[in-house]
Structure 1
Amino acid sequence: MIDLHMHSTASDGTDTPKEIITKCRKLGLRLSAVTDHDTMDSQTEAIATAKELKLKYLTGVEFSVRHTGELHILGYGMDTADRELAGMMDDLRGSRVERVREIIRVVQEHGMKIDFADVERFAKGNTLGRPHVALALIEKGYASDLQDAFTRYLNEEGSCYVQRRKLSPQQAIEMILKTGGIPVLAHPKFVRTDDIEALVAELRKMGLGGIEAYYPAHSDADVERYLKIAKRHGLIVTQGSDYHGAMRPYAAIACEKRTGPYLNESIKILTEKYAI
């Protein structure tokens, strides 16, 4: 088993990087990666824990990039000490904070009494994001649970949604490549496009290296479709749960268990070329 798509307290998960890697070890995973949103703050702790527990590990990140709707690029095997990467991450962290401040302003305009301190407390020193606003809304009684908070207020269709600055797909892919990593298209089923293969071909020209074919929301037919696309374009495939801890209790670590020869070949490439 492997899991190459997990989120920690460094972005919008509820488990620390150490807790995640410890769970991976107990489950007997042969390869894992923590892939927080637009930050690599989790990597030092995750790497140290993986080394301590003798678990093969890939440094990871999940970039949200500009596109009509949702488009995420996973990066694996990147050099976390790269200065240019660190500068980019600082900029993205700052943009997330500014976005949260703007969301709070809009929430207040809608008559809900929460402030920055209410939200910041839930982040516990980690990168601020919409889940922390959601938790503040729940605490104040403006939402019943996370799904309610996002549906009514924080999703794109929500009354308090605020767009944030994102990298272009090319910027994300180039940074991943420049720092020694491999870029992978995350959960393609969620990408809004009339022709996913044409989009993959376009991203391939930019340097895309893989597709997350094995994902809980993908049907067996979806998996086969993405496998065929990957093979036609010379891409590896990956597998991930999109674990967020208590934020998404239905997505447990390594809950995606489907496999196949092409995935095994891809895991071998990732392990030999990119894993620590």
Structure 2
Amino acid sequence: MIDLHMHSTASDGTDTPQEIITKCRKLGLKLSAVTDHDTMDSQPEAIRTARELKLRYLTGVEFSVRHIGELHILGYGMDTEDQELIAMMNDLRSSRVERVHEIIRVVQEHGMKISFEDVERFAKGNTLGRPHVALALIEKGYASDLQDAFTRYLNEEGSCYVQRRKLNPGQAIEMIRKTGGLPVLAHPKFVRTDDIEALVTELKEMGLGGIEAYYPAHSDADVERYVGIARRNGLLVTAGSDYHGAMRPYAAIACEKRTGPFLEESVKILAEKYAI
């Protein structure tokens, strides 16, 4: 088993990197990666724990990039100490904080009394994001649960949604490549496009190296389709749960258990070339 798509307290998960890697070891995973949103703050702790527990590990990140709707690029095997990468991450972190301030302003305009301090407390010193606003809304009684908070207020169709600054796909892919990593298209089923293969071809020209074909929301037919696209374009395939801990209790670590010869071949290449 592997899981190459997990989120920690460094972004919008509820488990620390150490807790995630410890769970991966107990489950007997062959390869794992913590891939927090637009930050690599989780990596030192994840790397240290993986080494202590003798678990094969890939450094990871998940970039949100500009596109119509949702498009995420996973990066694996990057040099976490690269100064240009660190500067980019610091800039993205600042933009997330600015966005939270703006969301709170809009929330207050809608008559809901929450403060920045209410939200910041839920982040516990880690990167701020919409889930922390959602938790503050729940605490104050303005939403019944996370789904309610996002549906009514924080999703794109929500009354308090605020867009944030994102990299374009080429910038994310280039940075991953420049720092020694492999860029992978995350959960392609969620990408809004009329022609996913044409988009993959376009991203490949920018340097895309893989597709997350195995993902809980993908049907068997979806998996077969994305594996085929990967093969035709000379890309690797990966598998991940999109684990967020208590934020998404339905997505457990390594819940994506399907496999296939091409995935096993891809994982072997990833482990040999990028794993710590």
TM range (shorter): over 0.9
Deviation readout 1:108-158 (Å, 9 max, x if unpaired): 000000010000000000000000000000000000000000000000000
TM-score, normalised by the number of residues in structure 2: 1.00
Q: Which residue of 1 aligns with 2:59?
A: 59
Deviations 1:43-63 (A, max 9, x none): 000000000000000000000
The residue number in structure 1 matching 2:35 is 35
Structure 1 Cα separation of the partners of residues 269 and 167 of structure 2: 27
1:86 partnered with 2:82: no
Q: Measure the CA separation in 1 of the matches of 2:141 and 2:259.
A: 43
SS of match in other structure, 1:61: strand
SS at match of 1:201: helix
Partner of 1:163: 163
Which runs of 5 or more residues in structure 1 are unaligned? none
Matched, 1:15 2:15: yes
SS of equivalent to 2:238: strand
The equivalent of 1:262 in structure 2 is 262
Gaps of 5+ in 2: none
What is the root-mean-square deviation in Å for CA atoms of aligned residues? 0.2
- 3-state SS, counterpart of residue 68 of structure 2: coil
Q: Distance in 1 between matches of 2:56 and 2:225?
A: 29
Q: Distance in 2 between matches of 1:224 and 1:216?
A: 14
Paired position in structure 1 for 2:110: 110
Partner of 1:56: helix, strand, or coil? coil
Task: String of CA shifts for 1:3-41, please: whole Å, max 9, x gaps.
Answer: 000000000000000000000000000000000000000
- Number of the residue aligned with 2:177: 177
Provide Cα deviations, 1:160-191, integer angstroms capped at 9, x if missing partner.
Answer: 00000000000000000000000000000000
Corresponding residue SS for 1:89? helix
The whole-number CA distance in structure 1 between the counterparts of 2:267 and 2:118 is 42
Quick one: which amino acid aligns to residue 204 of structure 2? Answer: R
Name the SS of the counterpart of 1:231 in structure 2: helix
Question: Secondary structure of 1:252's partner?
Answer: coil
Q: Which residue number in structure 1 is paired with residue 195 of structure 2?
A: 195
Query: Which residue of 1 is the match for residue 153 of structure 2?
Result: 153
- SS in structure 2 at match of 1:118: helix
Give the SS at the match of 1:264: helix
